[in-house]
Amino acid sequence: MRKLKFRNFDELEKELLADPEVKRLYDEMESEYQVISAVIGKRLEKKMSQKDLADRVGTKQSAISRLESGNSNPSIQFLDKVAKALDSQLQIKIV
């Protein structure tokens, strides 16, 4: 394993993404990251805790935590409930 040299996150990211295999895996996760980022962003914008969101969705805080950490494979139905609980709409596009 090669030793990484970096001063900040941007440098680390640049060095890691220079590896074609890491870049491929990173690109494969883009859609998942976008969903996670959107949920966290909307939740924070609304000044809600994970527990607050879970209560509005009708689930447990741990389910929201798994969603936000990427440790789940949520259904479209669940994501739709989360979006509605955030006073938002779920949009899915294939381009």
* Inside any domain, residue 3: no
Task: List, for residues 36-82, the tens digit of each pLDDT value.
Answer: 999 999 999 999 999 999 999 999 999 999 999 999 999 999 999 99
Domain count, the chain: 1
* Inside any domain, residue 49: yes
Those residues whose C-beta lies under 8 Å from the C-beta of residue 33, and which sit 6 or more positions away, are 70
* Inside any domain, residue 93: no
* Inside any domain, residue 91: no
Those residues whose C-beta lies under 8 Å from the C-beta of residue 65, and which sit 6 or more positions away, are 50
- Domain limits for position 26: 9-85
Single pTM value for the model: 0.79
Q: What's the rounded Cα separation, in Å, for the pair 30 and 52?
A: 27
CA distances from 92 to 3, 6, 66, 95 (A): 39, 37, 21, 10
CATH number of the domain within which 32 lies? 1.10.260.40
CB atoms inside a 10 Å sphere around CB 26: 14
Q: Higher-confidence residue: 86 or 1?
A: 86
* Inside any domain, residue 29: yes
